[in-house]
């Protein structure tokens, strides 16, 4: 399903052309995040008693490999990623310096799950059917909330001294891009391909199904070649002048194999990847987290409280693993969601990882828009509309500003002679509930005026 404008379609076509020109050959990037990252695509040995030969060759996560593909397509991407990293480190340094308390806001992320299957009859559910059931999808959303909220009494809880509640929640979207009620699940029969690969099929999947990635976390659930899943990292692209505004927005999300999406239900039969942590891990990347070993021997994941480690834990058990980095022997944090451990070993996001994810939600433009739009109680409207209340007002007046998408606008209070007595500006904002104080205003009639680049709406206000 496609939702978008003409310019969206044009830039998408451009992206496809770039993608097809780029070819698929691997190249060594200079990006330090990826130094030595071939480690991350080591073959994973899974439990032979419960998995097929095909599954035994699976690799936990294709995100690092996928990042190479994205950088081939977009020469600016490396710079954007490095810029985001620089900003993240700056924010963290300031936070430490100012000893800022944790912000307690709960961010709620609307999710759309696009099920891309080859079940011609359209039948839903069963143990081999890629057209997985609503219940299976619901079980995955539940796992995400247990893990990102470190919920007591669930697999997502831990007593690790550096373990933290990310204060991020996920829910299946209740409104589609046109504002209509939805289950947050879309289903698409696609028989031309038996499975999708990490190198170019993100574009194809996006053509089959996509909702705007600045309003939804898109998760495509289908059969994936070689990996359990992969994800696009966030960037700062459209905050930086001279860089493309919306690179890769159409493939922004996670692509997860249907046999590992959900917890011990339907198609989830594997004993190692039983419990929904493939998606917890991949969304960690969507929120800017790197693997705990920094994709290099003793590499840097830009988080100080995950112990430096020589590599991933790619086993079928939770056995302790030790690393010697900088001459010191330390225990690897195999419980971390950003390791490659079996699902049931994982239960930790650290405080440092939580800080990084929350900063990404505020710094990466698409992520920021998404949480802004999710937090407003007001929906989109085709035309600018305002609702002013209470009216008459004594002290504080509320102005509900509803508009299409994200726009910059001003909210002014004018006197009857047309003089501005109060003004506030909103840059690149969705529909917003604006609160204005009228304490300083003399009794009388005023005009509330809201102006965007192309529209202006006014309403009378009586101040008592």
Tell me whether residue 282 is one of the annotated catalytic residues: yes
Are the C-beta atoms of 162 and 350 separated by less than 8 Å?
Answer: yes
**Does residue 217 touch Zn ion according to CB under 5 A?**
no
C-beta of 272: minimal distance to Zn ion in Å?
15
Query: Closer CB to Zn ion, residue 107 or residue 337?
Result: 337
Nearer to Zn ion, 63 or 432 (CB): 63
- Alpha-carbon separation of residue 92 from 5, 163, 239, 350, 360 (angstroms): 38, 18, 19, 14, 11
From the list 34, 61, 303, 450, which residue makes contact with Zn ion (rule: CB under 5 A)? 61
Return the range that interacts with Zn ion (CB under 5 A); candidates 58-66, 118-126, 256-264, 423-431.
58-66
Rounded to the nearest 5 percent, the helix, strand and coil shares of the chain are: 30, 25, 50
Contact 164, 150 (CB under 8 A): yes
Tell me which stretch binds Zn ion (CB under 5 A): 57-65, 148-156, 208-216, 426-434: 57-65
Active-site position among 83, 249, 282, 335:
282
In the bound state with Zn ion, the residue whose beta carbon lies nearer, of 63 and 314, is 63
Q: Are 248 and 74 in contact (CB under 8 A)?
A: yes
* Least distance CB 369 / Zn ion (angstroms): 24
Using DSSP's 3-state secondary structure scheme, residue 196 falls into: strand
Nearest residue to 333 (alpha-carbon basis) of 355, 362, 353: 353
Nearer to Zn ion, 63 or 85 (CB): 63
Nearer to Zn ion, 63 or 272 (CB): 63
Radius of gyration (Cα) for the chain, nearest Å? 24
Contact call for residue 336 and Zn ion (CB under 5 A): no
Taking CB atoms, the residue at the shortest distance from Zn ion is 61
For residues 10 to 49, the per-residue mask of contacts with Zn ion, x marking binding by CB under 5 A and - elsewhere, is: ----------------------------------------
Kind of pairing, strands 107-117 and 217-222?
parallel
CB of 291 to Zn ion, least distance (A): 5
Shortest Cβ 138–Zn ion spacing (Å): 24
Is 107 or 340 the residue whose CB approaches Zn ion more closely?
A: 340
DSSP state of 263: B
Stretch that binds Zn ion, among 59-67, 185-193, 219-227, 360-368 (CB under 5 A): 59-67
| Size of the chain, expressed as the number of residues it contains | 464
Judged by CB under 5 A, the number of residues near Zn ion is: 2
Q: Mind giving me the DSSP string for 151-173? A: -TTSTT----TTB----EEEEE-
Residue 350 is given by DSSP the state B
Which residue, 103, 131, 100, is CA-closest to 118? 131
Query: Min. distance of Cβ 84 from Zn ion in angstroms?
Result: 17
Q: Which is nearer to Zn ion, 303 or 399 (CB)?
A: 303
Return d(Cα 127, Cα 143) in angstroms, integer.
Answer: 20
Interaction between residue 63 and Zn ion (CB under 5 A):
yes
Pick the closest to residue 448 from 383, 375, 397 (CA basis): 397
Piece of 4-12, 15-23, 62-70, 176-184 that binds Zn ion (CB under 5 A): 62-70
**Rounded to 5 degrees, what angle do the CA atoms 352, 356, 358 make?**
115
User: For residues 203 and 201, what is the distance between their CA atoms, to the nearest angstrom?
Assistant: 5
Minimum Å gap between C-beta 267 and Zn ion is 21
Q: How far is the CB of 224 from Zn ion (least distance, A)?
A: 13
Q: How far is the CB of 455 from Zn ion (least distance, A)?
A: 44
Span near Zn ion by CB under 5 A; candidates 27-35, 61-69, 183-191, 209-217: 61-69
Instruction: From 53-61, 301-309, 405-413, 446-454, give the range in contact with Zn ion by CB under 5 A.
Output: 53-61
Q: Closer CB to Zn ion, residue 61 or residue 348?
A: 61
Distance CA 18, CA 252 (A): 16
- Pick from 418, 294, 355, 450: nearest CA to 162: 355
Residues sharing a CB contact under 8 Å with residue 27, sequence separation 6 or more, in sequence order: 68, 72
Q: Which residues sit at the interface with Zn ion, rule CB under 5 A?
A: 61, 63
Q: Which residues are catalytic?
A: 282
């Amino acid at each position: 399903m496609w939702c978008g404008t003409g310019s969206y379609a044009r830039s998408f076509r451009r992206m496809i052309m770039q993608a097809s020109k780029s070819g698929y050959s691997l190249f060594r990037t200079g990006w330090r995040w990826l130094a030595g990252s071939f480690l991350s695509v080591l073959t994973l040995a899974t439990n032979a008693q419960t998995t097929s030969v095909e599954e035994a060759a699976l690799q936990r996560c294709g995100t690092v490999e996928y990042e190479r593909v994205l950088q081939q397509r977009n020469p600016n991407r490396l710079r954007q990623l490095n810029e985001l990293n620089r900003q993240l480190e700056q924010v963290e340094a300031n936070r430490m310096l100012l000893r800022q308390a944790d912000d307690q806001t709960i961010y709620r992320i609307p999710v759309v799950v696009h099920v891309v299957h080859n079940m011609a009859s359209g039948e839903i559910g069963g143990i081999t059917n890629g057209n997985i059931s609503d219940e299976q999808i619901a079980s995955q959303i539940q796992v995400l909330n247990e893990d990102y909220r470190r919920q007591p009494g669930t697999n997502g809880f831990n007593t690790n001294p550096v373990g933290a509640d990310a204060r991020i929640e996920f829910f299946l979207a209740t409104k589609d891009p046109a504002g209509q009620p939805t289950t947050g699940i879309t289903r698409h029969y696609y028989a031309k391909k038996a499975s999708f690969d990490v190198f170019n099929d993100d574009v194809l999947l996006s053509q089959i199904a996509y909702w705007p990635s600045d309003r939804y976390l898109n998760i495509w659930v289908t059969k994936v070649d070689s990996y359990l899943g992969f994800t696009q990292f966030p960037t700062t692209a459209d905050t930086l002048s001279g860089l493309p505004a919306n690179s890769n927005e159409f493939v922004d999300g996670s692509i997860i194999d249907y046999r590992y999406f959900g917890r011990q239900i339907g198609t989830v039969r594997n004993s190692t990847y039983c419990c929904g942590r493939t998606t917890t891990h991949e969304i960690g990347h969507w929120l800017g987290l790197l693997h705990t070993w920094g994709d290099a021997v003793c590499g840097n994941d830009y988080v100080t409280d995950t112990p430096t480690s020589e590599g991933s834990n790619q086993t079928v058990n939770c056995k302790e693993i030790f690393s010697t980095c900088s001459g010191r022997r330390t225990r690897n944090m195999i419980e971390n969601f950003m390791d490659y451990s079996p699902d049931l070993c994982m239960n930790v996001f650290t405080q440092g990882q939580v800080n990084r994810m929350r900063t990404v939600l505020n710094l990466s433009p698409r992520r920021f828009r998404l949480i802004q739009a999710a937090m407003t109680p007001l929906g989109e409207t085709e035309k600018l509309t305002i609702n002013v209340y209470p009216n008459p007002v004594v002290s504080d007046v509320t102005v509900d500003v509803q508009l299409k998408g994200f726009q910059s606008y001003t909210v002014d209070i004018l006197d009857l002679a047309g003089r501005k007595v109060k003004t506030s500006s909103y840059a690149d904002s969705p529909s917003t509930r604006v609160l204005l104080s009228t304490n300083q205003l003399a009794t009388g009639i005023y005009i509330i005026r809201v102006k965007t680049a192309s529209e202006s709406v006014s309403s009378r206000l009586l101040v008592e």
